[in-house]
Amino acid sequence: MTVNKLFDLGPWEATHDGNATAFFLQSRHYSFKPYRDGRRQDLSNPNRRLFVGPGEKLVLIGDRCLFAWRKFIDASGQQGVNCSTFRNESQVLSSTLILAAEEFARKKWPLERRFYTYVNPRKIRSTNPGYCFLCAGWQRCGFTAEGKLILEKLTAPATDSSAPVCLPEHAAAPSSGSDAVPHQ
């Protein structure tokens, strides 16, 4: 695996958006967008393997696993650093990989106090969407208008307790029967 190694921490190595190994893993994720216009197959397109999206990025790859962080202006109003994708095909516990990926994000964005991610409960097999994040200390925070579960992890105490941290678009669970089971 060819990696532009920025620093090493546990199972992860930092690389860049568009890395061939990262792209391969992302192409197997439920959120992958192949695009109907064929841009991903166009070998003359230098951006055909980009998958993280706009903003500041941190892409991590390991042995058969991928994690991408992104800091951007989220149209939904969510604030913090977003886990834009996580895929684990390795034998390592997903919660262990998440905790190690958090260390990278803390180094890149030391002043950020919140991580968040979206999980689409209709596109995964688990009856407990986001379970691996919950095992890593994340909490359910609400749902988007599209019914995606919002999970968050606070990384430092809030300086203003009146400021909202979680900004769920809908506080109630969608009617798709995705009742959450508490983390034990």
What is the CATH number for 58?
3.40.630.30
Whole-number Å distance between alpha carbons of 142 and 145: 10
pLDDT at 47: 60
What is the extent of the structural domain holding 21?
Answer: 8-154
In the numeric block, which tokens belong to residue 1? Answer: 């695996």
CA distance 79 to 165: 7
In a domain, 50, yes or no: yes
Would 66 be classed as within a structural domain? yes
Residues of the chain whose pLDDT is less than 70?
A: 1-9, 28-49, 156-184
Q: Is 161 contained in some domain?
A: no
The C-alpha atoms of residue 137 and residue 154 are separated, in whole angstroms, by 9
100-132 pLDDT, tens digit each: 999 999 999 999 999 999 999 988 888 888 999
The single-letter code of the amino acid at 94 is S
Domain count, the chain: 1
